Amino acid sequence: MVERLRGGMMGDPIGPVKDVLAFFAAMRNYGYLDIIGNALEEVTVLEALGNALRDFRSTCIDASAETKARLAREKVVCPNVKPEELENAVNAFIAIMKKRAENGTLVNFLREVYVESLARAGRFKLQEAQARA
């Protein structure tokens, strides 16, 4: 079993999405965040988010022994996100994104997600996670 940490903030409907993105930032894998933070339209965001979710599943849910060893070496813990919480957060993220695209504030929203996810990254580094426990 991969070690997991509860990271989300109560009342943040997209918190689990931010936690997944923050987890990859903690692993120094900034690609998904960079794509989302620089996106100008929804399709790019959906593609990056889908890829991040697929990678999250492989890394944290269906982790191989090799992946578990890599997480231990990098001193990173997976977010403790239940599948239904993640599904609800993804649906909320998509709904917010569509609304923000309609009213012309999509780029602002995506930059906010980018910055907030980066700020959460430390929660998934083992030393900081143990200090918080």
Question: In the beta sheet, which residues pair with residue 4?
Answer: 78
Model-level pTM greater than 0.95? no
Q: First-to-last CA distance in the chain?
A: 18
Which tens digit of pLDDT belongs to each residue from 47-92? 999 999 999 999 998 888 888 888 888 899 999 999 999 999 999 9
Q: What is the pLDDT of residue 75?
A: 92
Determine the average pLDDT of the residues in 18-37.
97
Residue 19 has pLDDT above 90, yes or no: yes
State the Cα–Cα distance between residues 6 and 121, nearest whole angstrom. Answer: 13
Q: Buried (b) or exposed (e) across 25-53, using 16+ Cβ within 10 A?
A: bbbebbebbebbbebeeeeebbebbeebb
Between vectors from CA 86 to CA 82 and to CA 92, what angle results, nearest 5°? 145
- As a whole-number percent, the residues of the chain with pLDDT over 90 amount to 75
Name the residue with tokens 């917010």: 96
Q: What is the pLDDT of residue 126?
A: 82
Q: What is the pLDDT of residue 132?
A: 59
What are residue 78's phi and psi, to 5 degrees?
-75, 150
Please name the helix (run of DSSP H) or strand (run of DSSP E) that holds residue 79, with its range, or none.
strand 78-79
Which one-letter DSSP state was computed for residue 104?
Answer: T
